[in-house]
Structure 1
Amino acid sequence: MSSSRTRNLQVFDTELSADTVEWCPLSQYAHILACGTYQLQKDDGTDGRCALEQILNMELGPNRLALSLDWSTGRGDSTNPRVVTSDSTGSLTLLSVAEDDLRTVSQWNAHDFEAWISAFSYWDTQLVYSGLGSEDGPLVPYVHQHSMGVCSIHSNPHREHIVATGSYDENVLVWDGRNMRQPLSETPVGGGVWRLKWHPVHEHLLLAACMHNDFHILNCQRAADGNEGPCPILTSYILHNSLAYGADWSRLTLGTPPPSSSATDTTAASVPLSKGHLRIQYESPTASFDTVLEDECGHYIPDHATAVSPPGPTPVSGTGDDSASVSCLLASCSFYDHMLHVWRWDWSLETDTQSGDTGALPSPLDTE
């Protein structure tokens, strides 16, 4: 059997409606987390220690809203970096990026209505996917499995040809890019799928932000291996109270989680506090996972007898892991309540050595 636990680590009020969140993929800046909002916040000159500096810019065209962008460097290849963006006219624009130059390589009309999402195939960056945002729009003209607008597409950086798509129709589809007429799997997640993110190291883990139905982590191993059936949901994070929009995996690693215990010792672990930290005053509404609460001083209350200080995070390295457990740091944001959450997920596969049967799904960490 498997064990899964989700723990809320920090909650931050973004003040404006939050709709996207990204951890920096560069190892030297892997501790940097950016959260974007729907409304524009004017610069008042009080950006603190971190501030955005504009390096290059260009206009896509008159009366166009840029709705998405993706870098071609999803597999870590920084040579000849390019960006693809979709816009409100249904057009896609391919841009080349140099140290002192940003220029249009190509621009074409891909859809008749808003193109909510565009994405590279990270294995062949000459190939671009895009999704039509209208209620009845398919992924591309010959794909009809999504019954409503497609708003998320992500190429798997670890498995060639594997692509995940999400739609307002509340389904996550996993595809083999060589045959886009029939998906490998279809998983209902109970909410419009606004964002999908493959894990930066573990090739079968897929994070889904599901608008009206919270955030979920899917195990896509069977689908990627060609087996039929929906992808099992390993865990759900349901502590947001509004539209689940932005979500991303951190590339920082966490230490082994402390063992569970029924002891009630509330000695707080030593965790540095940060400005803007809100005390978590509610418990998990479901018994399927646990939440770490805080004491009146804002320190974490662990669920084990002896306080253990979490080790400092370090950048993730490598492209695979044959262990049967994983500890991940994630961030998510929600729209109308303008909240940013940083949380931890611990998952382990517990094997029954006597029967020789795990009684669980294959480990999402297996690699070929």
Structure 2
Amino acid sequence: MAWKSRTRNLQVFDTELSADTVEWCPVSSHHDILACGTYQLQKGTGEADATTSRTGRLYLFEFRREGAVSPPLTELQRIDMAAILDMKWCHVPLSGKAVLGMAAASGELQLYTLSNSQEGGRSLHSLSSLEVGVERLALSLDWSTGRMDSSDVRVVCSDSAGCVSVLTLAECGLTALSQWKAHDFEAWISAFSYWDTQRVYSGGDDCKLKGWDLRAGPSCPTFISKRHSMGVCSIHSNPHQEHILATGSYDEQVLLWDERNMQQPLSESPTGGGVWRLKWHPTHEHLLLAACMHNDFHILHCKQALEGSGGPCPIVASYILHNSLAYGADWSRLSLEEPAPSSPPAAEPKKSFTESGGHLRIQYESPTASFDTSLEDDAGRYIPEDITPPSTTPPVGPVINLNEDASSQSCLLASCSFYDHMLHVWRWDWAPDDAQQC
């Protein structure tokens, strides 16, 4: 049975500073809470002033379903701080509270707790912080709790010096358990295996994907893959299916892996843009959300690839209303059984390159400011020097039946884009042909 599918914008919020990370709270009592982090590089104005500073702001929102009159997002809090490169909620409450971790340009891993006020509102409060190294940026983090397991709560963090750190949260605050040099250049991403939390993965600007076993120590990685042709910047372990790993790179490819055989990926899917973030759906094991920098946000259906077809994963839905680099994206666990309020989109969908006759050339800026140059071909794709641009386009297959038993389903998502400093909240609806659309 064929399925109909559509994405709809619900609200657009101007974050004022460049937005690069969004995260819905996974703790059951706070599924309506959304956090958004920003990053702004401030350069010196004169020839004699070569200083740079990186500032940011953390936003906290509540998603309210009060009908079609009021916008669904309500801002609860904003905190000015060092630029935020990445953030993740701990998947389980700690001491009864939701905890948000942030990788900051100050080189710190920062933790905040979400607390209820006497007036009934909610806000974030600083819990602990730890500097992972001097004169470096913390670039990413991941919690070991992806399968909602609270037995061994740890955090892995990567930084601009190419190091990976593993930390734990004790009564006295964050404590470093180990740190090692993992990559020759920036270690863009680090992640736990959610099925064996003694194993972590890292990806760097040296184009390498590596695995590490914390029981054996960091002296030698368990594997080194050079399958990606450019910097590896996204890794996510599948919390539903053991051994399955998704990785993304500036080379515009999403690779699916069986971690028992890291010599060859299960699937390779071109996306038409550098893959900055990947997120498996919290309940549907085959759905993968990709933030593709110069080519918007896409939802991939990975069932056939994981069953051994070997082909690319079809894109079953795309969200194209952003007008700048697609960086942050996340699924909400909030139910959308009732029709959600809808506000008009802030802008018309972007025209295709053939329709527009050209594109706005965007200056690509490394988050670490190690390079700052125009790295695009005529179609707006990120292309480094001496790399031939790919001629492939993202695979767009037939919309796939995701759940035979349901007449319709909806997902709530959030995404953010960099230079236009925009946060979007949107929904994805799908239904069989013979069922009424949401």
TM range (shorter): 0.7 to 0.9
1:97 aligns with 2:98: no
Written as runs of structure 1 = structure 2, the 5 A alignment for 1:125-140 is 125-134=197-206, 137-140=207-210
Instruction: Tell me: CA distance 1:223–1:351, structure 2 relative to 1, closer, same or farther (3 Å).
Output: farther
Written as runs of structure 1 = structure 2, the 5 A alignment for 1:33-52 is 33-39=34-40, 40-41=55-56, 47=77, 50-52=122-124
Alpha-carbon distance, 1:255 to partner: 1.2
Instruction: Tell me: CA distance 1:188–1:351, structure 2 relative to 1, closer, same or farther (3 Å).
Output: farther
Letter in 1 for 2:266: L
Q: Secondary structure of 1:203's partner?
A: coil
Match of 2:154 among 49, 60, 82: 82
Written as runs of structure 1 = structure 2, the 5 A alignment for 1:176-195 is 176-195=258-277
Aligned position for 1:224: 306
CA deviation string 1:290-309 (max 9, x = no partner): xxxxxxxxxxxxxxxxxxxx
Aligned position for 1:340: 423
Distance 1:281 1:62 in 2: 41
Letter in 2 for 1:280: P
Alpha-carbon distance, 1:213 to partner: 0.1
Distance 1:208 1:153 in 2: 11
Aligned position for 1:301: none
Aligned residues: 299
1:170 aligns with 2:235: no
Alpha-carbon distance, 1:283 to partner: 4.1
Aligned position for 1:146: 228
Aligned position for 1:111: 183
Alpha-carbon distance, 1:282 to partner: 4.1
Aligned position for 2:345: 280
* Contact 1:256–1:327 (CA under 8 A) maintained in structure 2: no
Alpha-carbon distance, 1:142 to partner: 3.3
* Contact 1:17–1:336 (CA under 8 A) maintained in structure 2: yes
Larger deviation: 73-82 or 203-212? 73-82
* Contact 2:266–2:310 (CA under 8 A) maintained in structure 1: yes
Written as runs of structure 1 = structure 2, the 5 A alignment for 1:17-56 is 17-39=18-40, 40-41=55-56, 47=77, 50-56=122-128
User: Relative contact order: is structure 1 or structure 2 higher (C-alpha 8 Å, sep ≥ 6)?
Assistant: 1
Alpha-carbon distance, 1:321 to partner: 6.6
Letter in 2 for 1:85: C
Instruction: Tell me: CA distance 1:42–1:215, structure 2 relative to 1, closer, same or farther (3 Å).
Output: closer
Letter in 1 for 2:134: P
Distance 1:256 1:121 in 2: 35
Distance 1:150 1:8 in 2: 30
Written as runs of structure 1 = structure 2, the 5 A alignment for 1:190-209 is 190-209=272-291
Distance 1:173 1:279 in 2: 35
Alpha-carbon distance, 1:118 to partner: 0.1
Distance 2:335 2:124 in 1: 26
* Contact 1:68–1:118 (CA under 8 A) maintained in structure 2: yes
Q: Secondary structure of 1:346's partner?
A: strand
Aligned position for 2:95: none
Aligned position for 2:12: 11
Distance 2:250 2:336 in 1: 34
Match of 1:326 among 401, 409, 414: 409
CA deviation string 1:239-264 (max 9, x = no partner): 0000000000001011166xxxxxxx
Instruction: Indicate the RMSD between aligned Cα atoms, in angstroms.
Output: 2.5
Alpha-carbon distance, 1:57 to partner: 1.1
Distance 1:10 1:99 in 2: 40
Distance 1:228 1:132 in 2: 26
Q: Secondary structure of 2:128's partner?
A: coil
Aligned position for 1:292: none
Distance 1:328 1:91 in 2: 36
Alpha-carbon distance, 1:80 to partner: 2.0
Letter in 1 for 2:27: L
Q: Secondary structure of 1:96's partner?
A: strand
Alpha-carbon distance, 1:349 to partner: 4.1
Aligned position for 1:159: 241
Q: TM-score, normalised by structure 2?
A: 0.64
Q: Secondary structure of 1:183's partner?
A: coil
Alpha-carbon distance, 1:30 to partner: 0.9
Q: Quick check: which one's strand share is greater?
A: 2
Alpha-carbon distance, 1:326 to partner: 2.5
Aligned position for 1:311: none
Q: Secondary structure of 1:180's partner?
A: coil
* Contact 2:142–2:192 (CA under 8 A) maintained in structure 1: yes
| Unpaired stretches in structure 2, ≥5 consecutive residues | 41-54, 59-75, 79-120, 211-222, 353-401
Q: TM-score, normalised by structure 1?
A: 0.76
Distance 2:171 2:150 in 1: 12
CA deviation string 1:274-324 (max 9, x = no partner): xxxx8535444579xxxxxxxxxxxxxxxxxxxxxxxxxxxxxxxx97635
Match of 2:318 among 210, 220, 236: 236
| Unpaired stretches in structure 1, ≥5 consecutive residues | 258-268, 288-319, 353-368
Letter in 2 for 1:26: V
Distance 2:305 2:167 in 1: 33
* Contact 1:328–1:346 (CA under 8 A) maintained in structure 2: yes
* Contact 1:142–1:181 (CA under 8 A) maintained in structure 2: no
Alpha-carbon distance, 1:197 to partner: 0.1
Alpha-carbon distance, 1:50 to partner: 4.9
